[in-house]
Amino acid sequence: MTKIALVGAGFVADYYMTTLANHPELGLAGVWDHDAPRLAEFCRFHDVRAYGSLDECLRDGETAIIVNLTTPESHFALNCAALNAGKHVYCEKPLGMTFEEAREVIELAERLGLTVCGAPANGLSDAQQLVAGLIADGRIGQPRLAYAEMEDGPVFKDNWTEWRSLSGAKWPGLHEFEVGCTLEHAGYGLSWLVSLFGAVEEGQAFSALTFPDKGPGAAGIAMAPDFAVGCLSFRSGVTARLTCGLAAPRDRSLTIVGEQGTIVVRDLWDDRSPVHLSRFDEKRPLLQRLAGRFERKRGRVLPLRLTHGRPVAYPAPARAGKLASFPSQIDFARGIAAMAADLANGQVPFFSGRRALHLTELALTLNEGAGHFRPRSDF
């Protein structure tokens, strides 16, 4: 069993606790948070140990991996402190608030012979494995184009001030608006794209603050961009467009167009999302043909949008276990479990090291709206 410690007991920590039960090979040694009442509430709810200090947490000889669930601006300092304490690190996105910080974290880990992995874990989902298998089997031929959507809906118009996690933590809406939805959410699309198509060679990035007024308590707070779009050229030959925002209707789909057909993933936040496949040399499903005929006859688009193609069956039943509640139906702890298994087997975890740095750089670049860019990171 690999012992881990959580640092940060905020909203997202409950997602990790919910899915930690799926991985009995992981043992939770304890939790630390600088907010004493929040830490006590979290540990009481989950019946887990609270460390008396961060130093006690980092010095715990039983713990192999520190799971960094603090706020983004705290990631760099804690990552470095954990590495200097001899611990491997699994870090929520991003690794640091600048490329230089993120690179320093990875280089420090390399010098110390330790491993840093970056979230999110949806790039390790059953849905991703299904899609990767379809591509490897040549079901759509050579992939050429991809559209990734990471639109979370007009969150700031919802009753977000009332949202609570399982153990009672408030959703940190104002802080997320201040840091930016791109740093928080772009990784969910980027992890899929990079896992399927490899490293980005060059791209174009644009971002904007489209809704400065985010509601209660937002006055006087400098808001980060709430819309970003990146056009990415992968070394493998694939071109992709990723959008990320907090205003357009919810859409977290991925469409991949190959030389012989198309794959559509309905929801990148769903561990076993419906996946649809169509080939250019096959007839469309009957319902889609009837819908198209109706639209042509009536001269208007139907109000119901059908997912293109036929659903693809998963090769095996879903594994027993829990996922975070809708809309975040991700096995958050799977990334930690995969990291622990690879370390035990002497392998390099997929979303670690230079690949984790690449993902962080891409998210930072999109958030900055940096225009034309060539990544400084590679793997």
Distance (Å, rounded) from C-alpha 303 to C-alpha 21? 41
State how many domains the chain has: 1
* Residue at 32 is within a domain: yes
Q: Considering the chain, what percentage of its residues have pLDDT values greater than 90? A: 88
Say yes or no to pLDDT of 303 above 90.
Answer: no
* Residue at 265 is within a domain: no
What does the pLDDT look like over 199-257, one tens digit per residue? 999 999 999 999 999 988 888 889 999 999 999 999 999 999 999 999 999 999 999 99
Nearby residues of 106 by Cβ (< 8 Å), 6 or more positions away: 95, 116, 353, 354, 356, 357
- Per-residue model confidence (pLDDT) at position 285: 86
Q: Which of 3-12, 46-55, 300-309 has the lowest mean pLDDT?
A: 300-309
* Pick from 59, 49, 68, 52: nearest CA to 117: 68
What does the pLDDT look like over 20-72, one tens digit per residue? 999 999 999 999 999 999 999 999 999 999 999 999 999 999 999 999 999 99
Range of the domain at 62: 2-121
* Residue at 71 is within a domain: yes
The pTM for the full model equals 0.94
Q: Report the relative pairing of strands 239-245 and 227-234 from DSSP bridges.
A: antiparallel
Query: Measured at the alpha carbon of residue 267, what is the angle toward residues 262 and 271, in degrees to the nearest 5?
Result: 110
Report, as an integer, the average pLDDT of 146-174.
95
In the block, tokens 């899929």 appear at 192
What does the pLDDT look like over 81-107, one tens digit per residue? 999 999 999 999 999 999 999 999 999
* Residue at 50 is within a domain: yes
* Residue at 110 is within a domain: yes
- Per-residue model confidence (pLDDT) at position 324: 86
* Pick from 226, 144, 111: nearest CA to 180: 226
Q: Rounded to the nearest 5°, which phi and psi values hold at 18?
A: -60, -45
What's 43's domain CATH number? 3.40.50.720
Hey, what are 344's tokens? 């035990």
* Residue at 83 is within a domain: yes
Say yes or no to pLDDT of 294 above 80.
Answer: no
- Per-residue model confidence (pLDDT) at position 218: 82
Q: For the beta carbon of residue 48, count every other beta carbon within 10 angstroms.
A: 16
